[in-house]
Amino acid sequence: AAELEYESVLCVKPDVNVYRIPPRTSNRGYRASDWKLDHPDWTGRLRVTSKGKTAYIKLEDKVSGELFAQAPIDQYPGIAVETVTDSSRYFVIRIQDGTGRSAFIGIGFTDRGDAFDFNVSLQDHFKWVKQETEISKESQEADTRPKLDLGFKEGQTIKLNIGNMTTKKGGAAKPRVSGSGGLSLLPPPPGGKIAVPPIPPPSSTAIANHVTPPPVLKSSNGSSADILLDLDAPASASKAPASATTDLWGDFSTASSAVPNQAPQQSNWVQF
């Protein structure tokens, strides 16, 4: 995994001064005023790189790019990089060579903005390292937890109830509109009316020829068949020829003409 890691550049500053610093006499920290700020021991270029989770401060020659010193940093803030107590432009770094020897030197920037960029580049890198460590820790904890098995076992089924799609048996049937003759008719549209066919007016001839015959008295000992015949009597009377019913007063005039002429008799009746 270490061979697959690549080196990325975090910050480059073209001007940096390097100072030999006296050993620290107390725990108060380093002071830049104790250094010979006007006479730096070396001047060159500073480059901050990272490879994996480790950052590197590299002091290189401005022209040839030859490495002068290198300071590996495992955490920040830490013992590998410290700030001085009396300035924000100067730092103390711990350089190391390939043999394991180390020394503390002082570095400083002429521009205060360069010092700010150097400080922020180290802070951003180790903030990313912290996030990566937390994510890997959470993933390892998730792998150790028992996993929830949501798969179907052999023979296991599932039942879904979607809305009111299932019909209950024995439910009340919807009312249906029935017309004459047992035929089902559709209900009228909303706001519509069913047109009723007009009844034709009776003709004058039917009114003149329609005569209700007098009721026929039946004896009390008549059978039920006679009663049924009475119900059919109006129908049979209506089938009589029209000549018999056109002049109802003809019988009375015939009877009066058949009586012989007699001499008028004196009576108390008033003759009409």
- pLDDT one-digit tens code per residue, 71-92: 999 988 888 999 998 899 999 9
What pLDDT, on the 0 to 100 scale, is given for residue 27? 77
Look at domain 7-135 and name its CATH class: mainly beta
What pLDDT, on the 0 to 100 scale, is given for residue 140? 75
What pLDDT, on the 0 to 100 scale, is given for residue 57? 95
Residue with tokens 């108060």: 28
Query: What residues are paired with 142 via a beta bridge?
Result: none
DSSP state of 182: G
Q: Per-residue b/e over 31-57, b at no fewer than 16 CB within 10 Å?
A: ebeebeeeebeeebbbbbbbeeeebeb
What pLDDT, on the 0 to 100 scale, is given for residue 229? 46
CB atoms within 10 A of CB 196: 6
Token duo for residue 78:
């830490």
What pLDDT, on the 0 to 100 scale, is given for residue 43? 94
What pLDDT, on the 0 to 100 scale, is given for residue 23? 83
What pLDDT, on the 0 to 100 scale, is given for residue 150? 76
What pLDDT, on the 0 to 100 scale, is given for residue 19? 94
Spans of the chain below 70 pLDDT: 1-4, 143, 145, 164-272
What pLDDT, on the 0 to 100 scale, is given for residue 181? 52
pTM of the predicted model as reported, rounded to 2 decimal places? 0.51
Distance CA 50, CA 11 (A): 10
What pLDDT, on the 0 to 100 scale, is given for residue 151? 77
What pLDDT, on the 0 to 100 scale, is given for residue 77? 84
Contact indicator for 114, 87 with CB cutoff of 8 Å: no
What pLDDT, on the 0 to 100 scale, is given for residue 12? 94
What pLDDT, on the 0 to 100 scale, is given for residue 24? 79
